[in-house]
Structure 1
Amino acid sequence: MRKEQLFQFIEVVDCGSINKAAEKLYISQPNLSCSIHALEEDMGKALIIRNNRGVTLTPTGKMLYYYARSILNQFQVLERLKELDAEQIYSQLSISVDSLFLKDDMILNFYKRISSAETEIKFLETTAEEVLQNVIDMKSEIGITILNNYQLSIFKKMAEVKDIEVQILGSGPLYVHISENNPLAHKEIVNIKEFFEYPRIHLPYDFFSNLNLSLSIDGFALSEFKRSIIMSNYHAIINMINHADALMLGNKWQVEELKYSHIKSIEIENSGITMNFVIIKRKRDTISNAGQVFLDILHENYDYI
């Protein structure tokens, strides 16, 4: 059984007769009949029934027709693969993210731009410490985290030792994220002491978040919050802010995206804390095409904020 025989068999079925198929294929009717007969001998069963109106399929012929179309489609895919380079065939995006609700359409835009036959997207929401470690261990090609100046100075030293490149996309003030229904949501700027009674949500503790325990905001230590909620799922965090009257300390790059979830972001008065948008990758590795496409989209979405 040859690919050419399957192709000719499909043409006979689609045309409804051997004569019409022979004309379309530019071969003689006897040669096409011989090809179909040889295929029937390979199958050990009749495939078509000839009559005055053309041909009809036997039960075996019907099954072969559908399988043959599928097989030939796969051959077409293989032919296209020969014309594609490696990145057009397969692309992988592997990123680790901390303290940032990425805009919903960023991954969709990435997929539209990459144009690969197969695209794998590995997206991990985790802590700053694991973001750094994942890039070091090559589990992620790109790491994104938001760090204050105190955390950043130590982060840079640890990254340098491991040959990790650190890029600062931008800096901004500290924000508090609360539900639009919170009594303080009408304010444009707030004092951190106004939230003393509210539960504070934060990601699981790691080396860098532990550094914040010694920080004070306008004389108020973060450790003084009466209640805290530790969560690792960003969508669950949003739900808790809206329905448990909780708060989360954050940054300006979260503001626009959180608006869609009915969360108000307010700058904290006299915080004395600067937040930094940090992107990391391995220094000695050339960034993949997929990684570069994602970085371009990242800059397009956050450079102007």
Structure 2
Amino acid sequence: MSNNTYTSPNLVLLSFILIFSPALLPITYCHERCHPSDKRALLEIKKSANVPNWNPRTDCCESWPGVVCDDATNRVTTLSSVVVDDLDGQISLSIGNLLYLKRLSYVTLPRLIGPLPPTIAKLENLEVLEIRATGLSGPLPDIFGSMKMLTILDLSDNKFSGSIPSSTPHAPNIGFVDLRSNKLHGQIPKQFGEFKSKGVIHLYLSSNNLSGNLPATLANSNFDTIILSRNMLEGDASMLFGTNKSIGFVDLSWNKFEFNLPNVRIPRNLSFLDLSHNMITGEIPHVWIQSNLSYLDVSYNKLCIFICNIA
């Protein structure tokens, strides 16, 4: 009898099928673009905020609403609520593990509650942070100044309280800061006259509980837009103006500002100016009538002349 072992060809074929057949492998290891660490973070976010339409059995890069991946790296670069009806819960601390995220946009989600996670500071590639019209509350962490790629910070129409994060203007590329319609209080930090960005600056701080005088450093700033309306700010705001400034839109209405209007020299580019509901004195300089202003409201002050619109 021969000592050679005989192996049936059918057995070999069956073994090959069992080991190598893609149909028998878990789907997460075949053809899935989503990076494992990104998917883990997204599943934690799903759990914390009750995201209704993210199926863990499917590829997050291909079929999860609001998730966009880079075609080259397959890393998650955008997380958005645009196509999600509503979220109910909180933003997970795991948001900070989406290290390649460039845009985070949660808009009109009144049942999204809790604080803004400080782990957002880990997102070194984040360019746009837009969390608007949600139920988020509590103090804002002072983390934005260290975010080197951040250009747009929109945290408007939420329930954030406490003071304004002072380091925000030190983010080297930030040019748009919108913190209006919250419950922020205290003074505007002096750092808001020290923006590091060399580009155009838009600042929106209206409809909060801000108080006190404007920091003197604002005299050195050159905003394109500044809206401080509906606060309790007081004192002299004339440092925002000057013929050497390029500011185009100013709304200081519904505060307690008190300064002499004839001393104000408006910039050439200024087209919108609302100073109404303050305690400003003097009279409107005649030169303003010949300026580029298309809208001027100085009503409800202590002026000698009232003008509402300039055609």
Q: Normalising TM by the smaller chain, what interval?
A: under 0.3
**TM-score for the superposition, normalised by structure 2:** 0.23
Larger RCO (CA under 8 A, 6+ residues apart): 1
**Bigger radius of gyration:** 1
**TM-score for the superposition, normalised by structure 1:** 0.23
Larger helix percent: 1
